Amino acid sequence: MAEVIDIDQEYENGDKDSDDSEPSNKKPRITKKRVDQRYKTEWERESDFNEWLRKGTVQTGQNSGYLAHCLYCKKDFVCKKGKHDAKRHKQTKAHEENKKAWITSSSKTMPLSLHFSGDSKIERVATVEAKLVTFLVEHDLPYSLSEDLLKLVKSMPGPDLLSQTTLGRTKATNIARQALAPHFHEKLLESLKTNLFSIVIEETTDSSVAKQLAVCVSFCDKAMNVQVDLLALVECSDGSVSGLFNQLVKVRDDVKKAGVPL
């Protein structure tokens, strides 16, 4: 169980109201009874708190509902005076030191439950983020893919269309081979009709030990970006110079037929 700090105890020295030390022979003043403030997840959206403040981890006992959790100090604290208490916690020496330690520590671990604040919208966003990261980890994909993956997800149509979409392994292969490949090949040939290009060849052996000749083209497009694209990948049983040459001539003839000036 996380340790609970009583914020008033933390301020025992030097943070009391000056009235407390005045003589007691003064007229008693009528003081308003303060209503305790329950923890509100909306505080977490404020720039003062979003990096470190979360709902208290201890949810039982007399302070349940009045506890906030500090990610830097890894502790719950009572915040019955609401944001005022959170701000006071932020100003404590211990918090400042724990913050420095947190920033310099190599392992900024925090329990997954603390990513989920209880606010339904923040929680749903955190769930989406967690699902995307889980996908990357599960499929051994690089974290550098995360931004592109998110862009892809955002570009997707609504749940109506997605619920009707089916995509098994065979279908995905067929879409790549029979729809996407011809489409992009056609686009490449169009570019080659209007841009000067050079040819790069590379011989490779695939997993079934078949020799293949990759024919790539390199050109500068209209936006002055250098593009390198695969023009053809042909199987070639004869890996000799004349064998490679014959394959290359075949590729050249195909390109010529498609109307690319050579």
The residue ranges that bind Zn ion (CB under 5 A) are 70, 72-73, 95
User: Are 90 and 99 within 8 A, CB to CB?
Assistant: no
Six token digits for residue 244: 């490679």
User: Are 240 and 226 within 8 A, CB to CB?
Assistant: no
The residue among 48 and 253 lying less far from Zn ion, judged by its C-beta, is 48
The residue among 43 and 72 lying less far from Zn ion, judged by its C-beta, is 72
The residue among 91 and 205 lying less far from Zn ion, judged by its C-beta, is 91
Cα→Cα distances 127→50, 87, 119, 122, 131, Å: 17, 28, 12, 9, 6
Cα Rg of the chain, angstroms: 33
214 CB burial (10 A radius; 0-12, 13-18, 19+): middle
Rounded to a whole number of angstroms, the minimum distance from the CB of residue 150 to Zn ion is: 31
Rounded to a whole number of angstroms, the minimum distance from the CB of residue 91 to Zn ion is: 10
The residue among 66 and 72 lying less far from Zn ion, judged by its C-beta, is 72
Rounded to a whole number of angstroms, the minimum distance from the CB of residue 70 to Zn ion is: 3
The residue among 70 and 78 lying less far from Zn ion, judged by its C-beta, is 70
- Of 234, 229, 170, 165, give the one whose Cα is nearest residue 195: 229
- Of 121, 50, 57, 108, give the one whose Cα is nearest residue 83: 50
Phi and psi at residue 4, to the nearest 5°: -110, 130
Rounded to a whole number of angstroms, the minimum distance from the CB of residue 76 to Zn ion is: 10
Rounded to a whole number of angstroms, the minimum distance from the CB of residue 51 to Zn ion is: 11
The residue among 63 and 247 lying less far from Zn ion, judged by its C-beta, is 63
Rounded to a whole number of angstroms, the minimum distance from the CB of residue 223 to Zn ion is: 50
Beta sheet of 4-5, edge-to-edge order? 4-5, 75-78, 67-70, 53-55
